[in-house]
Amino acid sequence: MAKRESLRQHPRLFAGPQELGRLRRRARAALLRAWTRQVACQAERYASSPHCAPLTNTHNAHLLRARELQHRVVTLLVRWFQTGDERLRDAVVGHVREMAGWQYWSWIAWRMGDPRPDAVFDLSCGENSATLAIAFDWLHDTLSADERALFVTTARERALQPFLAQTKATGAASWFCARHSNWNAVCAGGAGLLALAMYDELPEARRALPRVEKSVGVFMRGLAETGGGWTEGIGYWNYGMSYAFIYLLSHERATGRKHPLLALPETKITLGFPIDFCPNGVPCSFGDSNGWSPMSVHYAAARRLGRADVAGVLEDRLIRGAAADGGKWPGAEDWLVVHPGRRTPAARAQHNVARLYDGLDWGVIADRMPGPRLYMSVRGGTTKVHHGHRDLLSYHCVVGDEAMVTNLGIEEYLDSTFSPRRAELFEVTPASKNVILINGVGIAEGSSVTTRPVRGAGLVGMRMDATEAMGVSRDGPAADFCGRLFLMLEGKAFLIVDRVVMAHDGRVESRAHTRARVKAQAAGAMLTGERQHMRLAYACNVPATLHTAVTAPTRPGEEATVLRWCADELHTDIIMATLLWPGEGTPRVTISPAGRGFEVAVSAKGLSRRLTLTSHLGLARRRGA
């Protein structure tokens, strides 16, 4: 906004009079009634105990406190709109007064021992700004002079002035205008909500909005580089995009104009990204925070952008109990605000899916989407991303609603997680991933792998060349060639083919991790989960044996079994095949020479294929068994 203009009357953010007025009507849908009961119970508890207790024995307690307070405030407000009970409204004002009195909003500033409000503007500040904005917007017409002064003073001194201090042309915070960082959207989006809410009250709000627009614009336009995907994975997609979308939707409502960032093609595409990497509610992303549940603002954005397919999947996940339970953030209170009370029709399924996010180089292979019976996600791209691991070439495999093969990830954040010693953590290293290891090591730090889609008669998949990504060894490249081919065969099984060519004899293994029960043999294994099962069959062009081990994760109690398909001796040219079979019977896979390439034969109950591959894992030709 280059000049001051008039914004709509309050409430003017993402929820207007229609949405908030709907809260007063009795819910008819079963899910909305369940959410209402949950909100009623929680609101009564929060009104009776109106303080966020200090947290101990945890990482970044200030952020968790900010999130808890936001949940409390929105819950109390929603219930107040439903009942008109003034105790609930007064409890919200009490929480705002409590937040205003916190010496530190930022965990980082607390660790530095610097209580100045403008010392840092971090995630806690972004979330607190959003909480303050929502409370002011929804309570606006009921505030007394003293209450209004509390809100305005807190917004100026604890949020907007610090935001302006941290977004100057010189010396700006690292997240400001960062293209692929969730911090950008949370910090700028939270401040943007507050600037919209306080636009009429504070000149700082009017100064802040152009900077918010600039920073969020970089964030959203960066999606063009990744085909609508997100380098930080689905957990941080949820976090960053929720604040980006809530700001953009609020901007549209406050100004009465459509926002150009919501018109970008990649904005519409990205709505499907977390669904692609969380089949049937099973997280299959890469890097930190591999977890996802439906967000209310995601649903609102899907409705705004005409992605009924996305809205339908989100509702299905909610009905299956994937979100809004037990007061988790975000909870039932958020959904009651945005949900219209009627179901979105289910979308038609796509079959034999091989979907690649160009630029990101993450891929999805499935018999159908959404709701696959057989699914795999694969990881190419670069390790040079926020929250990234050395997990190139890795994959997740899901049968129905259960992970059969899964990368191991970080289960808790510690001081080492974002320190100079991060790369030493077991969960960051290739040893914890479903990858190829050459002479005991995997992908080199700071490397990249390009993913290419593969299609043939009755098969779809992805191919990766990781030769350069394997880095250097004693006196030259670790490999003259290192490649991996992922194929889905007739929608019935997955085949992984690896080839490593080295200048000198070396040791090669292919790893797969599972939390299922394992019954292993010399060249195969049976994986039995809580509800699903899968058989693995192995082959190699040289003598090889399957070994098993138990992992030693950083947080005890998260152990998994690692299947290690290892060549028995050292060789210069090793080809390995892994068949993942969810059906009955005993599957078999073999490797044999074929001209300048080689042939992989697969047989299982109802499946028989012979694939001729080139020396670099290209599809040469197919002939029937």
pLDDT per residue as tens digits for the range 392-405:
999 999 999 999 99
What Cα–Cα distance (Å) separates residue 380 from each residue in 14, 148, 273, 556? 36, 52, 16, 29
Which helix (H) or strand (E) is 408 found in, with range?
A: none
Position 10 scores a pLDDT of 97
Query: What's the DSSP call for residue 173?
Result: -
Position 180 scores a pLDDT of 95
Position 323 scores a pLDDT of 44
pLDDT per residue as tens digits for the range 106-150:
999 999 999 999 999 999 999 999 999 999 999 999 999 999 999
What Cα–Cα distance (Å) separates residue 534 from each residue in 93, 255, 408? 55, 54, 19
Position 329 scores a pLDDT of 41
What Cα–Cα distance (Å) separates residue 92 from each residue in 198, 297, 552? 18, 22, 45
Position 558 scores a pLDDT of 87
Tokens 């992992």, residue located: 551
Position 621 scores a pLDDT of 64
Which helix (H) or strand (E) is 588 found in, with range?
A: strand 588-594
Q: How far is CA 215 from the centre of its chain?
A: 21
Q: Which of 280-284, 315-319, 507-511 has the lowest mean pLDDT?
A: 315-319
Residue 41's contacts (CB-CB under 8 Å, 6 or more residues apart) are none
pLDDT per residue as tens digits for the range 209-221:
999 999 999 999 9
Position 345 scores a pLDDT of 82
pLDDT per residue as tens digits for the range 247-286:
999 999 999 999 999 999 999 999 999 999 999 999 999 9
Answer yes or no: are the C-beta atoms of 470 and 446 closer than 8 Å.
Answer: no
Position 2 scores a pLDDT of 44
Q: Residue 623 pLDDT more than 70?
A: no
Position 500 scores a pLDDT of 98
pLDDT band at 83 (very low <50, low <70, confident <90, very high): very high
What pTM, to 2 d.p., does this model score?
Answer: 0.94
Q: Residue 1 pLDDT more than 80?
A: no
Start-end of H helices in 444-581:
none
Answer yes or no: are the C-beta atoms of 215 and 272 closer than 8 Å.
Answer: no
For the record, the structure tokens of 42 come out as: 């929680």
Mean pLDDT of 150-164: 98
Mean pLDDT of 168-185: 96
Answer yes or no: are the C-beta atoms of 119 and 107 closer than 8 Å.
Answer: no
The Cα 409–Cα 403 span in angstroms is: 14
Tokens 């099973």, residue located: 282
Answer yes or no: are the C-beta atoms of 359 and 222 closer than 8 Å.
Answer: no
Where residue 83 falls (left for φ over 0; alpha for ψ -120 to 50; beta otherwise) is alpha
Position 53 scores a pLDDT of 79
pLDDT per residue as tens digits for the range 41-79:
999 999 998 788 777 889 999 999 999 999 999 999 999
Position 211 scores a pLDDT of 98
Closest CA relative to residue 165, chosen from 109, 210, 204, 127: 204
Q: Residue 433 pLDDT more than 90?
A: yes
> Which residues lie across from 14 on neighbouring strands?
none
Residue type, 173: A
pLDDT per residue as tens digits for the range 159-172:
999 999 999 999 99
Burial of 56 (0-12, 13-18, 19+ CB in 10 A): exposed
- Domains in the chain, CATH or no CATH each: 17-338 (1.50.10.100), 350-623 (2.70.98.70)
Backbone angles phi, psi at 13, to 5 degrees: -85, -150
Q: Residue 330 pLDDT more than 70?
A: no
pLDDT band at 624 (very low <50, low <70, confident <90, very high): very low
pLDDT per residue as tens digits for the range 588-619:
999 999 989 999 999 999 999 999 999 999 99
* Average pLDDT in the chain: 94
| C-alpha R_g of the chain | 26
The Cα 566–Cα 507 span in angstroms is: 8
